Amino acid sequence: MVFIRRSAGRAGATKVQLAERRGGRNVIVEHIGTAHDDAELAVLMKVAQERLHPGQDTLDLGLAGVPGAPARAAGAITSKRSALLWEVLTSAYARLGFELLGDEAFKQLVLARLVEPTSKADSLRVLDEIGVPHASLRTIFRALGRAQERDYRGQIATACFAHAAAHGDLTLVLYDVTTLYFEAEHEDDLRKVGYSKERRVDPQIVVGLLVDRGGFPLEITCWEGNKAETATILPTVRAFQQRHGVADMVVVADAGMLSASNLTALDQAGLGFIVGSRQSKAPADLESHFRWHGDAFTDGQLIDTLTPRHARAASENDPRQRSEPVWDPQRHPKSWRAVWAYSAKRAARDGRTLTAQENRAKAVVAGEKAARTPRFVKTHAGTTVLDEAALARARRLAGLKGYVTNIPGSVMPAAEVIGSYHDLWQVEASFRMSKSDLRARPIFHHDHDAIEAHLTVVVTALAVARHLQAVTGLSIKKIVRTLRPLQEITVTLAGHEHLAADPITPPAQHILDATNHPSPK
């Protein structure tokens, strides 16, 4: 017969064990734990009772001798909550200045998305599971309406700017766009089928995100699903400037934003820019280098030169001159500064890609592969042939990467231009966090205001996640996974409530130290 055995240990501790009778002796089957007070004893007794197999008799444990405990009951657990997790999240929310909204339901919606991204309605289940009292579902949905009516996004953007200005560097900002699709069959004035970065054919929206060089969000904009990427950067940057009165900064974007009108507009606004250049521009930009040095490059070589501002503009770089010109806006009004870098590692990667593309092209030419026409295949006299000239040009440019800017070399050296551009991975990382960790996609809302409110919730959650990542060095998923299991338990014994808590693990202590939280006693 199985029964629970209590034995007094050192320093007044009480062991709770499972044992059974074997050959006239009590044999310990499992050690449940050691209690140091009545509350811990009640919890361990509860666990021990649950471990007993159904149908087996439980002996009277004689708990009447335990102060405050009933004779045959171990007390009742009346509540559980992930107190540490919620304290860390709410503290970060407050430190970013988001409490200025004065909307508890909106805060719960944002922080629940950090704990477990799910639908708005299911967020209540998440809050219940971590023991947080919450607003009703109707109030939660009303918070979305208030977010639009009271311009929460504008207030959040102001708070984010203040935080970034105090803790980061706003002389350089990063911009990129992504697409978010909908579980919908039909288009409307916002949700439209367009070029999808996820190669989907669902109605979508285009989202622009401006972040600081650490990936902390500063401005988010929403556009029709068929909006061209190049048409989003100027309105987003101008909205950021007007909101905060910023005049002097550098905007970094990828090659998708490289349009003559965009660069001219940024320059006329007094803003610096660094954008990626397309490899196809290398032969013209590097004509002088190819004439004097051929295809020879050294690993890490930088070439600081000029690139025409418009496709139809004549080059101001004279290939007859061996040395590259130093860009000056007054001397070269038809050109921008171009920086080209060569990497042996990139060249090897490009070479492998080109070889794979060449093999596919040869398979199509030989009739071995019936597929859409791949790169390096052309039709000549009604016959598909390998475009050897295009392939040779591509191999000649392998390993090169270009950057276009309006910042003089005296202000920003070529290596710094490249380093600033490489910070773009931060905005890409923020998009990945929004899409995966915070599950901004797919969107199930269909009303325009509700979609905008959803994005406000997501960008607010992204700001909290980015802040916590910056101070702890851990992703929001790791923080939640570390703190969520640490429970604060309320046990009722003889009408009195007692608190018990899981011990603080070393990873949890690291998070508390990094976020300046005192360890609970």
Question: pLDDT of 387-413, one tens digit each?
Answer: 999 999 999 999 999 999 999 999 999
In single-letter form, the type of residue at position 362 comes to K
Q: What is the pLDDT of residue 291?
A: 92
Q: How confident is the model at residue 436 (pLDDT cuts 50, 70, 90)?
A: low
Q: What is the pLDDT of residue 521?
A: 58
Q: What is the pLDDT of residue 433?
A: 66
| Paired strand residues for 272 | 250
Q: How confident is the model at residue 226 (pLDDT cuts 50, 70, 90)?
A: confident
Name the residue with tokens 């070269």. 332
Q: For the segment 355-383, what is each residue's pLDDT rounded down to a tens digit? A: 999 998 888 888 877 666 778 888 888 78
Q: For the segment 477-488, what is each residue's pLDDT rounded down to a tens digit? A: 999 999 999 988
| Residue 469 pLDDT > 90 | yes
249 or 55, greater pLDDT: 249
168 or 353, greater pLDDT: 353
- Angle (nearest 5°) at CA 26 between 24 and 32: 165
pTM: 0.75
Q: Pseudo-torsion of CA 155, 432, 487, 54, nearest 10°?
A: 140
Phi, psi of 245 (to 5 degrees): 65, 35
Q: What is the pLDDT of residue 177?
A: 85
| Residue 11 pLDDT > 80 | no
Q: Give me the chain's average pLDDT, please.
A: 83
- How large is the average pLDDT for residues 184-209? 72
Q: How confident is the model at residue 74 (pLDDT cuts 50, 70, 90)?
A: low
Closest Cα to residue 105, out of 73, 160, 142? 142
Q: How confident is the model at residue 183 (pLDDT cuts 50, 70, 90)?
A: low
Do the beta carbons of residue 483 and residue 508 sit within 8 Å? yes
9 or 97, greater pLDDT: 97
| Residue 281 pLDDT > 80 | yes
Phi, psi of 305 (to 5 degrees): -145, -155
- How large is the average pLDDT for residues 185-189? 66
74 or 46, greater pLDDT: 46
Distance, in Å, from the CA atom of 140 to the CA atom of 145, rounded to the nearest integer, reads 9
Q: How confident is the model at residue 109 (pLDDT cuts 50, 70, 90)?
A: very high
39 or 142, greater pLDDT: 142
- How large is the average pLDDT for residues 289-301? 92
| Residue 59 pLDDT > 50 | no
Distance, in Å, from the CA atom of 302 to the CA atom of 177, rounded to the nearest integer, reads 29
- Which DSSP symbol is given to 318? -
In single-letter form, the type of residue at position 165 comes to A
Which range, 168-172, 181-185, 265-269, is most confident? 265-269
User: What number of other Cβ atoms are within 10 A of residue 397's Cβ?
Assistant: 22
Closest Cα to residue 307, out of 285, 291, 288? 285
The residue ranges of DSSP E strands in 36-122, in sequence order, are 76-81
- Angle (nearest 5°) at CA 416 between 307 and 333: 30
Q: Could you give the maximum distance between any two Cα atoms of the chain, in Å?
A: 105
SS (H, E, C) 3-60: EEEEEECHHHCEEEEEEEEECCEEEEEEEEEEECCHHHHHHHHHHHHHHCCCCCCCCC
Q: What is the pLDDT of residue 287?
A: 92
Q: What is the pLDDT of residue 93?
A: 97
| Residue 152 pLDDT > 60 | yes
In single-letter form, the type of residue at position 169 comes to D
- Which of 104-108, 154-158, 252-256, 341-345 shows the lowest per-residue confidence on average (mean pLDDT)? 252-256
Q: How confident is the model at residue 441 (pLDDT cuts 50, 70, 90)?
A: low
Do the beta carbons of residue 100 and residue 106 sit within 8 Å? no
Q: What is the pLDDT of residue 409?
A: 92
Q: To which H or E segment does residue 481 belong?
A: helix 476-483
Q: How confident is the model at residue 88 (pLDDT cuts 50, 70, 90)?
A: very high
Closest Cα to residue 421, out of 275, 322, 234? 275
Q: What is the pLDDT of residue 355?
A: 94
Distance, in Å, from the CA atom of 455 to the CA atom of 519, rounded to the nearest integer, reads 35
Distance, in Å, from the CA atom of 263 to the CA atom of 259, rounded to the nearest integer, reads 6
276 or 60, greater pLDDT: 276
